[in-house]
């Protein structure tokens, strides 16, 4: 992947190649969360899930616009050209799966944006704004992890199953990101500490399995996705693709 | 009627006559209370069911900007449902009870949401026409005699007007777009126009609740008056959109100072209201399924709150705790904190 160069008055700024990956993460998770609309377990969660989806979509639009035209990038790339991690493309499943996916991802995104906000990359400004949103997302996911983990027997069983099922997709989050100077090993340790603590408080056990699938480490970042992703894109893109060149 | 009841009623009537607001703790006639519960609940249900036809297009919205606008709108609708259930609860009912009545078909929602969203343009047509009709209905409710309902309407109307403008703007983009987009917009307006006119309810001589609601200043204008007002606003807007309305009888009447319009198919209206519209079954099933599928989540939240109420007293997420639970369990959960 090559970094796009944008020229402004102040001269050329190089956008890190990882910008596309971070934009795709936010876009794809927003799309998944959008599938919940009208189907959430309580009305307050209709509001909360839509709110999180909107924040993520907002982040995606800023990030993709740094790379090129947001709609071209969202609607006219095929599956192999998407750089999102596999975690965010995982189907919603039941509410526990959605919460486990959100816990893993928001914890990661919070660590990432805090670091980016403190740095001097072209993403620092965006990260400083997004970090407040992401802190809310993480808080929301943590509270639900506690309620489901330490709720009823059934909710405990479902939450544990969800945490276990998604665990293998979390290793990918700490692959180095092209063009960003991040201590991903330190991030990974902080992530493990944070998630381990929340799972413990929720009376859940840290999943025993490996944090990567047989060949999935970094796969999403290379455009290698899971099977449900293509179907998600087909739905997302079909209308835009049916009217080439139209504006909306 | 006893003498003291007559006195209470006189105070109530005087307050209504003086355009004062009735508040939750004020005495009110039973029928006033029951009528308001029915109307506010139906309004709340409409917001909740009304999320479905639009949510149907969130994952397919053709640009990221439109997707964001649509998501925000559907989120607002859930919020409106929440305000309205709260307003209804001030009258001594509960959200759970009202949702139960919705799910069992004992309370209605607006008939408009029983029509399907078949193309992207339907999202624009809903914003322009359906929200436009809703606003025409709801703006006078901001002066309704019951305070909590009137105040909820002030907030709802602000957001609805914003949605309506966005709907109009989305249709305008289609109307001025490619030939296929223009045709898509016209087709959507053709399908949504008459159902939108039906949103104002039956004609005045067939409207069972109207006279009393007007006497109590819950309603300020008759169904037919509001419908006329809506047509007068929408007809010139259609022209500036470059779209036609599917009514050969629609034309400006200089003498009346209003648009004349053709007859409404009331058979269709009553049929949809009875549950035989294109999507009645689908809308209610989806709502029931969301509620049933979510039962274990609500139970988990309640169980968690039961264990941790003492330690997480300020946790504002705790408000989710008792949704969907029976009153008995509700009391138990909150009454025996830390038990």
Which superfamily is assigned to A6-242 in CATH?
Ferritin, core subunit, four-helix bundle (1.20.1260.10)
Q: Please, are residues B58 and B291 in contact by the beta-carbon 8 Å criterion?
A: no
Indicate yes or no: CB of A34 within 8 angstroms of CB of B177. Answer: no
pLDDT range class, residue A13, cuts 50, 70, 90:
low
> How much is the pLDDT for A214?
66
**H helix runs in chain B, sequence order:** 3-17, 30-49, 51-55, 64-89, 95-103, 121-125, 131-138, 147-175, 179-198, 210-215, 223-241, 266-271, 280-293, 295-308, 327-335
DSSP state of B126: I
pLDDT range class, residue A46, cuts 50, 70, 90:
very high
Distance CA(B164)–CA(B154), nearest Å, equals: 15
Instruction: Tell whether the model's pLDDT for residue B262 goes beyond 60.
Output: yes
Instruction: Tell whether the model's pLDDT for residue B154 goes beyond 70.
Output: yes
Residue A243 is nearest to which of B51, B58, B181, comparing CB atoms? B181
Report the alpha-carbon angle B38-B43-B47, nearest 5. Answer: 145
DSSP assignment string, B61-103: -SSHHHHHHHHHHHHHHHHHHHHHHHHHHTTT--HHHHHHHHH
- B282 Cβ under 8 Å from any chain A Cβ: no
Q: What is the pLDDT of residues B158-173, one digit of tens each?
A: 999 999 999 999 999 9
Distance CA(B306)–CA(B325), nearest Å, equals: 13
Query: Is A39 buried (19+), middle (13-18) or exposed (0-12) by CB count in 10 A?
Result: buried
pLDDT range class, residue A209, cuts 50, 70, 90:
confident
Q: What is the pLDDT of residues B282-315, one digit of tens each?
A: 999 999 999 999 999 999 999 999 998 765 544 4
> How much is the pLDDT for B311?
58
Which residue, among B41, B47, B57, B58, would best test binding to A if mutated, counting the most A CBs under 10 Å from its CB? B58
Instruction: Output phi, psi for A5, to 5 deg.
Output: -110, 125
Residues of B in contact with A27 (CB under 8 A): 64
Measuring CA to CA, which residue among B161, B197, B70, B74 is closest to residue B124? B70
Q: In the block, which residue shows the tokens 């902080």?
A: A190
pLDDT range class, residue A238, cuts 50, 70, 90:
very high
Indicate yes or no: CB of A43 within 8 angstroms of CB of B67. Answer: no
3-class DSSP string for chain A: CCCCEEEECCEEEECCCHHHHHHHHHHHHHHHHHCCCCCCCCHHHHHHHHHHHHHHHHHHHHHHHHHCCHHHHHHCCCHHHCCCCHHHHCCCCCHHHHHHHHHHHHHHHHHHHHHHHHCCCCCHHHHHHHHHHHHHHHHHHHHHHHHHHCCCHHHHHHHHHHHHHHHCCCHHHHCCCCCCCCCHHHHHHHHHHHHHHHHHHCCCCCCCCCCCCCCCCCCHHHCCCCHHHHHHHHHHHHHHHHCCCCCC
Nearest Cα of chain B lies from the Cα of A158 at a distance, in angstroms, of 10
ipTM entry: 0.94
Indicate yes or no: CB of B75 within 8 angstroms of CB of A46. Answer: yes
Mean pLDDT of all residues in B266-279: 94
> How much is the pLDDT for B211?
85
- B68 Cβ under 8 Å from any chain A Cβ: yes
Q: In the block, which residue shows the tokens 């929440």?
A: B82
Cα Rg of chain B, angstroms: 22
Instruction: Output phi, psi for A9, to 5 deg.
Output: -60, -40
> How much is the pLDDT for B93?
97
Q: What is the pLDDT of residues B170-225, one digit of tens each?
A: 999 999 999 999 999 999 999 999 999 999 999 998 887 888 899 999 999 999 99
**Cα dihedral B134, B137, B143, B149 in deg (nearest 10):** -50
**Cα dihedral B154, B159, B163, B166 in deg (nearest 10):** 120
Measuring CA to CA, which residue among A76, A70, A82, A88 is closest to residue A31? A88
Q: Which residue of A has its CA nearest to B185?
A: A248
Task: Please list, residue by residue across B16-47, b when 16 or more beta carbons sit within 10 angstroms of its beta carbon and e when fewer do.
Answer: beeeebbeeeeebeeebbebbbebbbbbbbbb
DSSP state of B118: -
Instruction: Tell whether the model's pLDDT for residue A188 goes beyond 70.
Output: yes
> How much is the pLDDT for B159?
93
Residues of A in contact with B64 (CB under 8 A): 27, 57, 60-61, 64, 70-71, 74
> Worst-scoring range by mean pLDDT, A122-131, A136-145, A210-219, A238-247?
A210-219
Q: What is the pLDDT of residues A100-145, one digit of tens each?
A: 999 999 999 999 999 999 999 999 999 999 999 999 999 999 999 9
Q: In the block, which residue shows the tokens 């330690």?
A: B311
Q: What is the mean pLDDT of chain A?
A: 93
Q: What is the pLDDT of residues B19-71, one digit of tens each?
A: 999 999 999 999 999 999 999 999 999 999 999 999 999 999 999 999 999 99
> How much is the pLDDT for B325?
36
Q: What residue ranges do the domains of chain A occupy?
A: 6-242
């Amino acid at each position: 992947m090559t970094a796009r160069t944008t020229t402004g008055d102040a001269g050329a700024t190089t956008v890190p190649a990882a910008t596309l990956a971070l934009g795709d993460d936010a876009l794809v998770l927003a799309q998944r969360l959008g599938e919940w609309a009208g189907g959430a377990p309580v009305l307050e969660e209709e509001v909360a899930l839509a709110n999180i989806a909107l924040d993520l979509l907002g982040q995606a639009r800023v990030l993709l616009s740094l790379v090129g035209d947001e709609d071209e990038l969202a609607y006219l790339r095929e599956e192999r050209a998407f750089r999102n991690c596999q975690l965010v493309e995982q189907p919603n499943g039941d509410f526990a799966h959605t919460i486990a996916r959100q816990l893993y991802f928001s914890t990661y995104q919070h660590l990432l944006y805090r670091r980016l906000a403190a740095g001097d990359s072209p993403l620092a400004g965006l990260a400083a704004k997004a970090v407040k949103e992401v802190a809310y997302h993480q808080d929301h996911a943590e509270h639900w992890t506690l309620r489901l983990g330490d709720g009823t027997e059934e909710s405990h069983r479902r939450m544990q199953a969800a945490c276990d099922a998604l665990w293998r997709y979390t290793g990918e989050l700490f692959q180095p990101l092209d063009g960003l100077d991040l201590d991903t090993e330190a991030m990974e340790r902080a992530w493990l500490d944070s998630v381990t603590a929340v799972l413990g408080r929720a009376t859940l056990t840290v999943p025993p399995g490996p944090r990567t699938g047989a060949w999935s480490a970094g796969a999403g970042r290379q455009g290698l996705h899971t099977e449900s992703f293509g179907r998600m894109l087909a739905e997302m893109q079909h209308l835009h693709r049916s009217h080439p060149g139209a504006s909306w | 009627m006893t003498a003291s009841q007559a006195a209470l009623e006189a105070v109530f009537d005087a307050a209504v006559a003086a355009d004062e607001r009735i508040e939750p703790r004020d005495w009110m006639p039973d029928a006033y209370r029951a009528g308001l519960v029915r109307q506010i609940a139906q309004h709340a249900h409409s917001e909740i069911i009304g999320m479905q036809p639009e949510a149907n297009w969130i994952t397919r919205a053709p640009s990221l900007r439109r997707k964001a606008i649509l998501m925000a709108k559907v989120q607002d609708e859930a919020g409106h449902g929440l305000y309205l259930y709260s307003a209804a609860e001030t009258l001594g009912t509960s959200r759970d009870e009202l949702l139960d009545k919705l799910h069992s078909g004992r309370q209605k929602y607006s008939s408009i949401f029983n029509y399907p969203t078949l193309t992207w343009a339907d999202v624009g047509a809903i914003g322009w026409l359906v929200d436009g009709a809703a606003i025409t209905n709801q703006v006078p409710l901001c002066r309704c005699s019951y305070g909590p309902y009137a105040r909820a309407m002030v907030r709802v109307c602000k957001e609805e007007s914003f949605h309506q403008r966005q709907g109009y703007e989305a249709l305008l983009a289609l109307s001025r777009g490619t030939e296929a987009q223009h045709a898509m917009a016209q087709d959507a307006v053709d399908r949504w126009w008459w159902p939108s006119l039906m949103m104002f309810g039956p004609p005045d001589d067939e409207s069972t609740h109207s006279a009393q609601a007007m006497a109590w200043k819950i309603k300020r204008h008759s169904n037919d008056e509001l419908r006329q007002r809506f047509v007068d606003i929408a007809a010139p807007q259609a022209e500036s959109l470059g779209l036609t309305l599917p009514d050969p009888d629609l034309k400006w009447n200089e003498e009346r100072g209003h648009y004349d319009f053709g007859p409404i198919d009331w058979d269709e209206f009553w049929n949809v209201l009875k549950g035989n519209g294109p999507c009645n079954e689908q809308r209610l099933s989806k709502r029931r399924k969301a509620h049933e599928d979510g039962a274990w989540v609500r139970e988990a939240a309640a169980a968690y709150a039961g264990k941790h109420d003492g330690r997480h007293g300020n946790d504002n997420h705790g408000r989710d705790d008792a949704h969907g639970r029976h009153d008995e369990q509700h009391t138990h959960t909150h009454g025996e904190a830390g038990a």
